[in-house]
């Protein structure tokens, strides 16, 4: 199967929340967060980014040390008002929709495969 069908032969959406899919070109794996169907029948698949990387980073990190540069771990700007350091998002801002990818059904069928 070269394409992932969003609907079956009867027109029922067969992609559901929690399904793992892979982008064919990049091989990145995503999880279906939700499937939205407009009144006109258009379907959009909302994909969540992977929670963990699928590959392990190199075991050893090489650190280049320049003897001419002093060791500075962190520089901070002076703060006039400590209360400005704390940020509490509004209820609308707590939704994770910003981290989701909206993929139209036609693009999804061509570019993604079910894992």
Alpha carbon distance 5, 113 (integer Å): 9
Name the fold adopted by 1-51+97-115. Answer: SH3 type barrels. (2.30.30)
On the question of pLDDT at 94 being above 60, the answer is no
32: helix, coil or strand? strand
Contact 114, 19 (CB under 8 A): yes
Domain ranges of the chain: 1-51+97-115
Q: How confident is the model at residue 62 (pLDDT cuts 50, 70, 90)?
A: low
DSSP code, position 13: B
Give which of 13, 7, 49 is closest to 31, Cα–Cα: 49
10-20: average pLDDT: 89
pTM: 0.58
């Amino acid at each position: 199967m070269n394409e992932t069908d969003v609907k079956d032969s009867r027109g029922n959406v067969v992609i559901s929340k929690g399904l793992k899919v892979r982008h064919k070109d990049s091989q990145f794996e995503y999880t279906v967060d939700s499937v939205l169907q407009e009144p006109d029948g258009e379907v959009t698949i909302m994909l969540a980014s992977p929670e963990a990387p699928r590959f392990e980073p190199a075991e050893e990190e090489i650190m280049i040390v320049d003897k001419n540069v002093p060791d500075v771990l962190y520089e901070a700007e002076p703060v006039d008002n400590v209360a400005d350091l704390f940020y509490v998002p509004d209820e609308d801002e707590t939704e994770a929709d910003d981290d989701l990818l909206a993929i139209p059904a036609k693009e999804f069928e061509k570019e993604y495969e079910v894992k």
